[in-house]
Structure 1
């Protein structure tokens, strides 16, 4: 299945300004190690057939918060943009799988940079030709780590894994989301401050 706007691995992507060595240091800061990679990869089996249900929860939350929905609404009329929401949802579902696959190589890092640019005014709306708000406020982007990871936990527990394995997967997801949002913060932060 082709996902419009999903360009993971494309040679057209800009190289991430964050190097693999930088990312290794970031992983150490959040105590992300090989056990977390293994737990993320184990979570793919658990989550792969639940992505639509997960997205229903996440979209329900965002849709219930006008200040969050504003990032997916027309900048002039403030009406939600269904086509834009649908396009982003398809990529968001793939993001769940990409996160679970834990392929932290240069292609992955470059795509994280692309995701960052698409949240920032640098590239917001361009992928889908949307007329939405020109930027996702960083405060909203960063704070969504909690509702995303908190509401994911019940889905991680639905396949009968032992509670300690569910906890390992959940903690790996929390760390991974913190790492990714930190990568996505790059365009929002002055280069000498990053």
Structure 2
């Protein structure tokens, strides 16, 4: 069921993704995502749960410092604060979903929906925004690094052993790669995904 407190968050209410659970299992094998990683990701979710706003502050600060990224959330050359805030709520929920939800068909379907919302297919529609018509593929992939590199300090913040922090960080990295691969499906020619 969708979280009605977050406008545009339609988890469990979107059409089925054009890739199967079998395809996803092969992707998981390719990034070496295991059941242990799923456990470490859940643990990461417990640690990150009350830090989501700080994480988003950091990530939004990064985007705001780079006009070539901020343009995707701008109207007439100026940051659209309403659009940024609407997306922020769902971005925070994505952190929770990534760590807490099972990687099942509903999760897979919603990753595809997120991809459509970055692509020209649905960009701006959810929030009735008038920003750039798509987020370019190159930045989708490149953003994997800042989202992965910056999370480690948040994972370490509560004093867990360095080995556990590293295991959670690796699980996070693998999960982010998996999601971005799924998000980029609309950018790939039919039959080439």
What is the CA-CA distance between 1:49 and the residue it aligns to?
0.3
TM-superposed CA distance for 1:160, in Å, is: 1.2
Unpaired stretches in structure 2, ≥5 consecutive residues: none
Contact preservation (8 Å) 1:113, 1:184: yes
Once the two structures are superposed, residues 28-73 of structure 1 have per-residue CA deviations (whole angstroms, 9 ceiling, x without a partner) of: 0000010110000001110000000000000000010111101101
Name the counterpart of 2:124. Answer: 125
Misfit runs of 4+, over 3 Å: none
Q: Residue 28 of structure 1 aligns with which residue?
A: 29
Structure 2 match to 1:158 = 157
Residue matched to 1:169: 168
Deviation at 1:2, TM superposition (A): 0.9
Query: Which whole-Å CA distance do the structure 2 matches of 1:116 and 1:109 have between them?
Result: 11
User: Does the CA-based 8 Å contact 1:116-1:183 persist in structure 2?
Assistant: yes
Say whether the 8 Å CA contact 1:40–1:102 is kept in structure 2.
Answer: no
CA distance in 1, matches of 2:132, 2:169: 32
User: Aligned-pair distance for 1:191?
Assistant: 1.6
> Equivalent residue for 1:142?
141
> What is the Cα deviation at residue 102 of structure 1?
4.3
State the alpha-carbon separation in 2 of the partners of residues 103 and 83 from structure 1.
31
Distance 2:160 2:37 in 1: 16
Q: Distance in 2 between matches of 1:18 and 1:114?
A: 12
1:108 aligns with 2:107: yes
TM-score by structure 2 length?
A: 0.97
The number of equivalent residue pairs is 190
TM-score, normalised via structure 1 length: 0.96
The alignment partner of 1:121 has SS state of coil
